[in-house]
Amino acid sequence: MNMAWNIITSILFGVSDLWEILAETLLIIGIWKLLEKSGLKGWWALIPGAREYQISRCAGREPEGRIYSALTVGIRVLRVLFILGKYDAVEDLRPDIVIASLLVIVFSIIVFVYAIRIYIGLIEVYGQRKRWIILWVFPVVEGFVALLWGFSNKYQPSWKVTDIQAEMERLATHGSATVMDEGLTVNLKERSVREFFQKKILLRDIHMAIPQGHMVLLLGGSGAGKTTYLNAINGYEKAKAEVMLNGNNMYTQYKKMQYEVGFVPQSEMMRGKDTVINTLLDAAKLRLPKDVSPEQRRKRVDEVMEIFGLKPVKNNLVEKLSGGQKKRLSISIEFISNPSLFILDEPDSGLDGVMARELFVQLRKIADTGKIVIVITHTPDRVIDLFDDVIVLAKDSARTGRLAYYGSIEDARKFFNRERMEQIVKSVNRKEEGGDGLADEYVLKYAEVQHA
């Protein structure tokens, strides 16, 4: 009976001592009221793990809350295992009990660090002095603090979680781009996942039409959804969207359209012991339709090597190539299928200015043949003259990736009132990420321009 009591209380409260259970109960009641003040359902406070996550949302510390809640659940599980091991043990120091105890200690230290970060955020939201943190993280006392803040009208949050959700709705654009017979049309309503007891929206309301022959720069800070957006375009991760390439639907006609899209990831995945020509011949077998003859494949490989200047090193091993040659080979592999849409994720990574310039000049030539080229690069200003358009993605106040701008380079400079692309990225980045925190402003401004 004693074991059952300890297991139940460890799961529900994380503790088994009667006074600690009382203090934890006070904390749960206080958190219930705090959640309600932020517009959330108070009963989340009854669910271990969920209450830690929900209070982190109230504090504007959702990313930290995911780790915080997972660790608190982990501690509860370990304590239950410890109790079971302790009661079954013949000796006091069984290895599994020792390991469980050490893990509880390590997890508890990490939880304490995250608790400080989350409660500091809560203190800021409530406009109180930071010295409150001493009481919030002090065992037993925190329950009384939660009750005070939860029930007293003196303590009110400066914003509610529901306010952020309403702001996201306000920033939503409900228009769509007109589907073109030639070119890329993206009408993405939503890309979401299920995460930590709720639906998390990664991208929302992104509409654009990119003509053939355009080379497009994709900008956005860390976490803005650039890779998620590209994966949605090429069909790798389907979204609630309609993606049309030259009149064909990328989702419903995926098998047919997979040859029309070339995607070059940042990392190079090539066998170092293969020669350049064998690497490309293998790529041709995989990326060209099955009815293409060996002679046609060889001809296409020769054409691609000529385009990217790889003929002089065609018999060299991949591992012996220079950094620039490896990048060109990586691009050549995807270009074998002669795609209509060519997507590259940081193709200039690790290259110096001269080599990067040469690479982008080649991409410009590819776009000039009527292809659409979309590129992510963290050093855009050194090659910005080669681009036609720019896409700017930004995290709004709900940390959802949104379209802050799509259009020509010159119009982008006027729209953001900034000359350099890196300054534009800084303007939409959150303040805690070193930015200006103007994402919502520009998302709304762009939506208003589109509706005008």
Q: What SS3 string covers the chain?
A: CHHHHHHHHHHHCCCCCHHHHHHHHHHHHHHHHHHHHCCCCHHHHHCCCHHHHHHHHHCCCHHHHHHHHHHHHHHHHHHHHHHHHHHHCCCCCCHHHHHHHHHHHHHHHHHHHHHHHHHHHHHHHCCCCHHHHHHHCCCCHHHHHHHHHHHCCCCCCCCCHHHHHHHHHHHCCCCCCCCCCCCEEEEEEEEEEEECCEEEEEEEEEEEEECCCCEEEEECCCCCCHHHHHHHHCCCCCCEEEEEECCEECCCCHHHHHHHEEEECCCCCCCCCCEHHHHHHHHHHHHCCCCCCHHHHHHHHHHHHHHCCCHHHCCCEHHHCCHHHHHHHHHHHHHCCCCCEEEEECCCCCCCHHHHHHHHHHHHHHHHCCCEEEEECCCHHHCHHHCCEEEEEEECCCCCEEEEEEEEHHHHHHHHCCCCHHHHHHHHCCHHHCCCCCHHHHHHHHHHHHHC
CA distances, 346 to each of 182, 285, 374 (Å): 26, 26, 10
296 alpha carbon, distance to own chain's centre:
41
d(CA 451, CA 264): 35
Residue pointed to by tokens 């469980």 = 100
| Model confidence band, residue 7 (pLDDT cutoffs 50, 70, 90) | very low
| Model confidence band, residue 36 (pLDDT cutoffs 50, 70, 90) | very high
| Model confidence band, residue 168 (pLDDT cutoffs 50, 70, 90) | low
- The residue among 3 and 179 whose pLDDT is bigger is 179
Spell out the domains of the chain, with CATH numbers in brackets: 2-158 (no CATH), 167-451 (3.40.50.300)
pLDDT digits (tens, 9 = 90+) for 79-112: 766 666 554 444 455 666 667 667 777 878 888 8
Please report the pLDDT score of residue 415 as a whole number: 94
Lowest mean per-residue pLDDT among 172-176, 267-271, 300-304, 311-315:
172-176
Please report the pLDDT score of residue 160 as a whole number: 80
Phi, psi of 266 (to 5 degrees): -65, -40
- Does residue 171 have a pLDDT over 70? no
pTM value? 0.70
Q: How many CB atoms lie within 10 A of CB 286?
A: 9
| Model confidence band, residue 164 (pLDDT cutoffs 50, 70, 90) | low
- The residue among 127 and 222 whose pLDDT is bigger is 127
CA distances, 376 to each of 40, 350, 366 (Å): 38, 14, 16
| Model confidence band, residue 235 (pLDDT cutoffs 50, 70, 90) | confident
Average model confidence (pLDDT) for the chain?
82
Please report the pLDDT score of residue 19 as a whole number: 58
pLDDT digits (tens, 9 = 90+) for 191-230: 877 765 567 788 888 999 999 999 999 998 778 889 899 9
User: What number is the average pLDDT over the span 36-49?
Assistant: 89
Q: Tell me whether residue 339 is exposed, middle or buried, using C-beta atoms within 10 angstroms of its C-beta: 0 to 12, 13 to 18, 19 or more.
A: buried
Structure tokens at 447: 């939506």
Of these ranges, 133-142, 214-223, 404-413, the one predicted with the greatest mean pLDDT is 404-413
Please report the pLDDT score of residue 216 as a whole number: 96
CB 428 within 8 A of CB 440: no
